[in-house]
Each structure stands twice: as C-alpha cells, then as structure tokens.
Amino acid sequence: MAHLVELDTILNMAARLFDSQGYVETTMQDIADRLRISKPTLYRHVKSKSGILQLIIDRWIEQSDRALDAAFALPDSEERIPALVRAWTESTLTDGPSLKVFLADERDMPPRAIRGYHDWSVKVYKRFRQLVGEGQEAGYYRGDADPTVATFTVLGFILLLPRWLNENGPLAPREVAEEFLKTFTKGLRVPATHTEFSNADAGQAGESHRRNIENCPLPD
C-alpha cells in the first residue's frame, strides 16, 4: 500500500529544498527521498515540480491575504499596520522557506505564478497605501509624509526579513516587529527639542560642576 502524505507536508519539504538547493537543481526524486516516499507516490499528490512551486506561491498569497483581511477588519484603524507587521514578521520564521520561494527569481516561476505574484504585489501596495492614507486622515501619521515612500518602507522591511531574520538572532520576531514599528512611527533621529533640552541640561550641569570645583577648599 502506498504511503500517502499531507499536501502541506510536501509543500513544506519542497520549499525547504528549493530554498537550500535552488528550484532548478531540486528534482522530484529529491523531494520524494526527503519525504521517504516513492516518486510515483509523490505524483499521486502533485503533477510536476512546477505544479509544486505554483501551489507554494498560491498558499503564501492566500496566507498573506488572510492577514490583510484580518488587519482591515480591526475596529481601531491605528492598529492595522502594526498588526500586519507583527503577523508577517512571525510568519517569516514559521513559513520562511515558502516566503523565500515566493520572493525568488521570477524566471523560475510558472507563467500563472508570475501573473499571480504581480497581481498580489499591486493589490498589497494599494491596500497598504490605503492604510497609510487613513492614518494621515486620522492624524496619527504625518500629513506631509509621502504615502508611497511610507508604503514601500513597510513592505521593504517585510519582504527583506527572510534574508536576515533567524531564530538564533539576538531579537525574537516579536521584538524585531516592535523595534521596526517604533522606528517607523517615531523616527530614528532624536527630536530637535529633546536635543536642545539635553544640550541645555548638559551646559547647566557643566557650569554647576565648575562652580563646585571653584568653591571647593584646597587642602593645606
């Protein structure tokens, strides 16, 4: 009797192999061997290697769409972008190989997958830009900020995560997401008013320290 496996198990294993070995270099026999099944059994589930790649891409699009829909459904619009950043940062580790495959060279993708990827990219950009615009109208994002730049700032962070985020890093995924959100909402540079106050405080402290030294009696 043939040993059957879950489709998700096949896709997860294939994604790991595509990520580590490359899509072109990975064969159906490689996938079957790693799953400890025969190649005919593998073909019971999927028709071809390109079909597996298509399914991996379709699955990632479905997962990302669910995260988008969940974020848009939040009653507090200010929490929508943070919710997406947190969800997609977490998924970088839980489903990192699939995301890397999804972001791989388009030349390896089947034509339908390329069209799906392009359509998804346009949709995600428009929806993120809508979130930024809503935040500007609500007053919790700067009105003079360019929404396109802000949108690609967030998307660039999310899409580059698989290149460097790993489970053995100094920050957990949740901490990485919070650090990005803090930088995104508050900026990297110290506010000018804070700098001015700090400099003034430092100057006053220095003058006080000088006076203390001058008034200190010298030893005989």
Does a structural domain hold residue 11?
yes
CATH for 36: 1.10.10.60
**DSSP strand E in the chain: where?**
none
Does a structural domain hold residue 153?
yes
SS3 for 115? Answer: helix
DSSP 173-217: HHHHHHHHHHHHHH-SSPPHHHHHHHHHHHHHHHHHHHHHHHHSP
Residue 30's domain spans which residues? 1-46
Q: pLDDT-derived band of residue 205, with 50, 70 and 90 as boundaries?
A: very low
- Taking only Cα atoms into account, the Rg of the chain, rounded to an integer number of angstroms, comes to 26
Q: pLDDT-derived band of residue 160, with 50, 70 and 90 as boundaries?
A: confident
Mark whether 80 and 167 lie in a shared domain: yes
Nearest to 41 by CA among 32, 49, 50, 30: 32
Q: What is the pLDDT of residue 4?
A: 64
Does a structural domain hold residue 123?
yes
Gap between the Cα atoms of 74 and 19, Å rounded = 34
Mark whether 27 and 63 lie in a shared domain: no
CB-based contact 101:57 (threshold 8 Å): yes
Which distant-in-sequence residues (6+ apart) come within 8 Å of 134 by Cβ?
77, 80
CB-based contact 60:92 (threshold 8 Å): no
Rounded mean pLDDT of 156-172? 87
* Phi and psi based region of residue 146 (left: phi greater than 0; alpha: psi -120 to 50; beta: remaining): beta
The more confident residue out of 84 and 197 is 84
Mark whether 61 and 122 lie in a shared domain: yes
pLDDT in tens, 167-197: 888 999 999 999 999 999 888 887 666 544 4
Q: What is the pLDDT of residue 79?
A: 94
Does a structural domain hold residue 105?
yes
Check whether 104 has a pLDDT greater than 80. no
Mark whether 68 and 99 lie in a shared domain: yes
CB-based contact 85:158 (threshold 8 Å): yes
Mark whether 69 and 115 lie in a shared domain: yes
Does a structural domain hold residue 97?
yes
The total number of structural domains that make up the chain: 2
Q: What is the pLDDT of residue 26?
A: 95
- Give pTM, 2 decimals: 0.75
Does a structural domain hold residue 52?
no
The more confident residue out of 68 and 198 is 68
Mark whether 16 and 41 lie in a shared domain: yes
Q: What is the pLDDT of residue 214?
A: 46
Token representation of residue 217: 């009696």
CATH for 147: 1.10.357.10
Does a structural domain hold residue 154?
yes
- Cα 109 from chain centre: 21
Mark whether 21 and 120 lie in a shared domain: no
Mark whether 82 and 176 lie in a shared domain: yes
Does a structural domain hold residue 2?
yes
Mark whether 113 and 14 lie in a shared domain: no
Cα torsion 185, 189, 190, 192: sign: negative
